[in-house]
Amino acid sequence: MCADAFMIYGIGIDIVKIERMRKVVEKWGQKFLKRVFTENEISYCSARRIPYLSLAVRFAAKEALFKALGSEIPISYKDMEVINTASGKPFLKINGRLENHFKKKLISKTHLSLSHENEYGIAFVILEQ
């Protein structure tokens, strides 16, 4: 194996209906938002023209990460955070219990792709060792 080779630890994908996210937020409000999203994510999404779209793709990213990990450990939605670089590229910041799990499993990098079209948001995650 060459020095720059890597192994895929896991992959995950998730799709969320944007209207469903709107209904959940309208029904549960801050209780839902604070359970699932970090303060940075809530601020970022709230400042967007269509906040539910940004919330939906971030929720999809978290679910895709859960799928990439399998059911190995119980983790919180807030153990992960979707952040955008200055150029707009999204990435996953890993915290808490999940950060320790990544170290234990030698997961060195995450790859995240987000997209949306009309009524759906989708996220794809690759975990690399």
Say if 2 falls within a structural domain: no
Say if 1 falls within a structural domain: no
113-129 pLDDT, tens digit each: 999 999 999 999 999 99
| Three-class SS state of 123 | strand
CATH of the domain at 79: 3.90.470.20
Q: d(Cα 100, Cα 113) in Å, to the nearest integer?
A: 23
Write out the two tokens for 9: 């630890």
CB of 40 closer than 8 Å to CB of 48: no
Q: Which domain holds residue 13?
A: 8-128
Give me the phi and psi of 42, to 5 degrees please.
-65, -45
Mean pLDDT calculated for residue range 3-22: 92
Q: d(Cα 70, Cα 57) in Å, to the nearest integer?
A: 20
Say if 31 falls within a structural domain: yes
Asked whether the CA dihedral 43, 53, 27, 124 is positive or negative, the reply is negative
Write out the two tokens for 45: 């999404």
Say if 74 falls within a structural domain: yes
Say if 46 falls within a structural domain: yes
The pLDDT of residue 102 is: 96
pLDDT band at 4 (very low <50, low <70, confident <90, very high): low
66-115 pLDDT, tens digit each: 999 997 788 899 999 999 999 999 999 999 999 999 999 999 999 999 99
Say if 105 falls within a structural domain: yes
Say if 3 falls within a structural domain: no
Structural domains counted in the chain:
1
Q: How buried is 45 (Cβ within 10 angstroms: 0-12 exposed, 13-18 middle, 19+ buried)?
A: buried
- Report field, pTM of the whole predicted structure over 0.95: no
